[in-house]
């Protein structure tokens, strides 16, 4: 099918073809990864169950029966608005991660779309935020409230847009976070939020 070429490792497919039906969570996870997170776990389980939990057959069933009926929205990542390259944040600090995204397709997004956490480090309890339906070529900022890990280091997580029916679409959106004891980003965001809320001029921090 045009535009639906999938590069599957034959050895990998052989390994999972030989895998029994007992470890279903592994099959669901691998199916979801091979499809580039286009389906949620429940959707993966549907196709696997339909094909007696044969991974290769389930992927074929997905592309044979689903693809012609799916109008997949388009989304392109534009830029990081906050937490850009070279910025750091202290441990155990709340912050807002904001991305700029664009509906890069020719049709408006359907109602009920959201941005969902799909892998890596989550940075807090929020795993989904609703996003308004964008018109073709419209650009918008999407923000998620997060909290940095307690230990210094480099961390990363992945998020994706998702329709109300569980279909993932568009670019994978990354959070790459540098956690440092001397990081200033969280303090900068807190000051910025304070100034915006109270419409005041910037003030230097109080002496300790």
Residue 76 to residues 94, 101, 164, 171, 182, Cα–Cα distance (Å): 27, 6, 19, 6, 33
- 59 and 79 fall within a common domain: no
pLDDT at 44: 83
Angstrom distance (rounded) from CA 49 to CA 43: 10
SS3 of the chain: helix, strand, coil, percent, to 5: 30, 30, 45
In a domain, 194, yes or no: no
pLDDT at 8: 52
In a domain, 111, yes or no: yes
- 79 and 124 fall within a common domain: yes
- 95 and 42 fall within a common domain: no
DSSP codes joined into one string, 77-98: EEEESSS-TT-EE-TT-EEEEE
Question: Can you give the pLDDT of all 208 residues of the chain as single tens digits?
Answer: 444 444 555 555 555 555 544 578 888 888 787 777 777 888 888 888 888 888 777 877 777 665 555 578 999 999 999 887 667 899 999 999 999 999 999 999 988 899 999 999 999 999 999 999 999 999 999 999 999 999 999 999 999 998 877 888 999 999 999 999 876 654 444 444 444 444 444 444 434 4
User: Model pTM?
Assistant: 0.59
- 79 and 144 fall within a common domain: yes
Angstrom distance (rounded) from CA 33 to CA 49: 17
- 79 and 57 fall within a common domain: no
pLDDT at 34: 76
């Amino acid at each position: 099918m045009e535009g639906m070429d999938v590069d599957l490792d034959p050895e990998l497919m052989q390994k999972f073809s030989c895998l029994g039906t007992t470890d279903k969570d592994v099959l669901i996870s691998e199916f979801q990864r091979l499809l580039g997170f286009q389906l949620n776990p429940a959707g993966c389980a549907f196709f696997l169950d339909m094909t007696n939990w044969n991974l290769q057959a389930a992927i074929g069933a997905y592309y044979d029966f689903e693809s012609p009926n799916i109008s997949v929205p388009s989304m392109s990542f534009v830029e990081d608005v906050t937490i850009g390259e070279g910025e750091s944040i202290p441990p155990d600090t709340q912050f807002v991660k904001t991305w700029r995204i664009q509906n890069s397709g020719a049709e408006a997004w359907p109602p009920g779309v959201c941005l969902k956490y799909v892998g890596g480090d989550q940075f807090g309890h929020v795993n989904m935020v609703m996003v308004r339906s964008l018109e073709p070529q419209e650009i918008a900022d999407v923000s998620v409230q997060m909290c940095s890990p307690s230990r210094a280091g480099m961390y990363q997580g992945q998020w994706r847009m998702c329709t109300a029916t569980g279909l993932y679409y568009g670019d994978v959106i990354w959070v790459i976070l540098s956690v440092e004891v001397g990081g200033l980003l969280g303090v900068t965001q807190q000051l910025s939020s304070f100034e915006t809320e109270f419409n005041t001029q910037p003030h230097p921090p109080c002496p300790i």
